[in-house]
Amino acid sequence: QSNSLWGGRFQEQIASTALEYTESLAVDAAMLTEDIWGSKAHVIMLGANGIIDDEDTRAILSGLESARREVDENTFTLDVADEDVHMNVERYVTSRHGKRGARMHTARSRNDQVITDTRLHTRGLILGIEREVIALQDTLLTLAADHTDTLSMGYTHTQHAQPITIGYWATAYVGMFRRDLVRLRNAYRSTDINPLGAGALAGTSFPTDRRLTTELLGFADVQENGLDAVSSRDFGLEFLSALAILVSNISKIAEEIVYWSTHEFRLVEVADGYAMGSSMMPQKKNPCVAELIRGKTGKVYGRLVELLTMMKGIPTGYNRDLQEDKPPIWEASASAASTIRTLNGLLSTLRFNPDRMRELAHKNFALATEVADYLVKTQNIPFRECHRIVGETVGSLYRRNLTFENVEETVQALAAAGAKVTAEEIAPVLDPVVSVNSHTSLGGTAPAEVLRMIKAERERLEEHTHDVDAR
Ligand code: ARG
């Protein structure tokens, strides 16, 4: 007979290749604590409903409690021969409490057990990510508040578009990451349901109380249908989808830091602590940290695709393929967590270069829209016509290698295109500070509006923080 806990039916031992190929201990070890917690809840429930007697209940609980202590003290040993954490914990209890211990798996299957553990562990992972995003939001909001007046260039098509401020740029990311937080909370809600009590797939004839285990494990609700409970991994897909979108936003910010720190742009400089040199070229300061933040996005996307592919075409009921759900969840989560934390450090030490931005704003016609708007307001010319006038003006200056800094030539070119203005009146229109300050529309780049957005985002962030603390 096989000495495995399920070995009654078998006459031979499992082949070592088969055991090595199928065991999941290194991955499962992450949820040892949850496995013991889940077993305690199950055994308390069995005892409370007279499914096992009080002495058995006490014996098993004391076995589980000493297992928990060993896990906390890092002395709990895992034996590969027992395949996974569930069997290891059960072996630990039965080896100490014999026949009493052997009752702990009454009215339970590893199928509902493993997914209970996975959901419990994933809940913690999601909360951990939410906390990292909250810390990042705090950094971005502080940065935004410090830079409501710091000029920056706004781009479309990576071409100079209109002046903005660094505070405005930072609050754009705050909006993105706020929606990431909402997606993470939704994934948490999908995760926070109790599959324990589903049994192998069909429930059980024992008088179990699934509401009690739900309460003991702090789940928001019971996951009712047992077949659904043992088959579903959609919570993992939801979490990884939320992470994939989150890191796509992070990759965007990393990319901006990489090319804004080129000599050609010179809009930002990363701190020495977040840059690296070259082994051959002594002058180099490479934004390696930002590049790796951008690069590690691939891992999270890959893990999502891995889980999606693994889940495709698996029929209902537990199938062993499902064991492959944990590595992608653990690894995508760990990668995203360290990425967010590192970005936080990179951003809080980043230096901005408003002088360079001012230089760019003047040299490349970024105030052209302001000139057109000025003509609309002061000369009652329709916008489309003003667009043409300013377009012709820019074209004429550009062909002669001139810029808006050449105010006299600008005034002449405007007149030739059909708009009479004086140098005195056009000078302030060509000032990026004046431009930024005037963009007071809802969600505009004016410092007052950015301050209002910062305040509103701070309030939303505090609400989300309370919500995380309460979970
Ligand atoms: N190690 C397995 C997993 O992670 C536990 C469940 C095994 N169930 C089974 N029927 N073989 O999915």
Would you say 231 and 320 are in contact if contact means Cβ atoms under 8 Å apart?
no
Q: What is the pLDDT of residue 2?
A: 74
Pair of tokens at residue 279: 């082994």
Q: What is the pLDDT of residue 7?
A: 85
Q: Name the β-bridge partners of 351.
A: 269
CA distances for 268 relative to 56, 58, 157, 202, 350, angstroms: 66, 63, 19, 60, 7
Ligand 1, atom nearest to 27 Cα: 4
Cα 115 to Cα 312: distance, rounded to the nearest angstrom: 18
Q: What is the pLDDT of residue 292?
A: 98
Q: Is 231 in the pocket of ligand 1 (CB under 6 A)?
A: no
How far, in Å, from the CA of 195 to the mean position of ligand 1? 14
**CA dihedral of 217, 222, 225, 229, whole degrees rounded to 10:** -40
CA distances for 172 relative to 141, 176, 369, 375, 450, angstroms: 10, 7, 21, 30, 10
Catalytic residue among 2, 95, 278, 338: 278
Ligand 1, pocket-test mutation among 31, 83, 84, most atoms within 8 A of CB: 84
pLDDT digits (tens, 9 = 90+) for 219-242: 999 999 999 999 999 999 999 999
Catalytic residue among 16, 24, 42, 157: 157
Q: What is the pLDDT of residue 357?
A: 84
Q: Is this complex's ipTM strictly greater than 0.85?
A: yes
Would you say 117 and 32 are in contact if contact means Cβ atoms under 8 Å apart?
no
Residues (pLDDT < 50) of the chain are: none
- Which residue's alpha carbon is nearest to atom 4 within ligand 1? 323
pTM score, whole prediction: 0.95
**369 burial level (CB within 10 Å; 0-12, 13-18, 19+):** middle
* Cα 272–Cα 275–Cα 281 angle in degrees, nearest 5: 105
Q: Is 360 in the pocket of ligand 1 (CB under 6 A)?
A: no
Q: Is 114 in the pocket of ligand 1 (CB under 6 A)?
A: yes
How far, in Å, from the CA of 48 to the mean position of ligand 1? 27
Cα 170 to Cα 139: distance, rounded to the nearest angstrom: 10
- Which residue's alpha carbon is nearest to atom 11 within ligand 1? 320
Percentage of residues of the chain with pLDDT beyond 70: 100
- SS3 sequence of the chain: CCCCCCHHHCCCCCCHHHHHHHCCHHHHHHHHHHHHHHHHHHHHHHHHCCCCCHHHHHHHHHHHHHHHHHHHCCCCCCCHHHCCHHHHHHHHHHHHHHHHHCCCCCCCCHHHHHHHHHHHHHHHHHHHHHHHHHHHHHHHHHHHHHCCCCEEEEEECCEEEEEEEHHHHHHHHHHHHHHHHHHHHHHHHHHCEECCCCCCCCCCCCCCCHHHHHHHCCCCEECCCHHHHHHCCHHHHHHHHHHHHHHHHHHHHHHHHHHHCCCCCCCEECCHHHCECCCCCCCCCECHHHHHHHHCHHHHHHHHHHHHHHHCCCCCCCCHHHHHHHHHHHHHHHHHHHHHHHHHHHHHCCEECHHHHHHHHHHCCCCHHHHHHHHHHHHCCCHHHHHHHHHHHHHHHHHCCCCCCCHHHHHHHHHHHCCCCCHHHHHHHCCHHHHHHHCCCCCCCCHHHHHHHHHHHHHHHHHHHHHHHHC
- Phi–psi pair at 151, nearest 5 degrees: -65, 145
Measured from the Cβ of residue 94, the count of other Cβ atoms closer than 10 Å reads 19
- Which residue's alpha carbon is nearest to atom 3 within ligand 1? 323
Domains, the chain, ordered by start: 7-106 (1.10.275.10), 111-353+464-470 (1.20.200.10), 368-430 (1.10.40)
Q: Is 105 in the pocket of ligand 1 (CB under 6 A)?
A: no
Annotated catalytic residue 333: no
Q: Is 116 in the pocket of ligand 1 (CB under 6 A)?
A: no
How far, in Å, from the CA of 24 to the mean position of ligand 1? 9
Q: What is the pLDDT of residue 1?
A: 67
Q: What is the pLDDT of residue 400?
A: 97
Ligand 1, atom nearest to 24 Cα: 1
Q: Is 85 in the pocket of ligand 1 (CB under 6 A)?
A: no
Annotated catalytic residue 121: no
Nearest residue to 359 (alpha-carbon basis) of 300, 403, 398: 403
Residue with tokens 């300050």: 437
pLDDT digits (tens, 9 = 90+) for 393-413: 999 999 999 999 999 999 999
Ligand 1, pocket-test mutation among 110, 112, 311, most atoms within 8 A of CB: 110
How far, in Å, from the CA of 439 to the mean position of ligand 1? 59
Cα 83 to Cα 3: distance, rounded to the nearest angstrom: 12
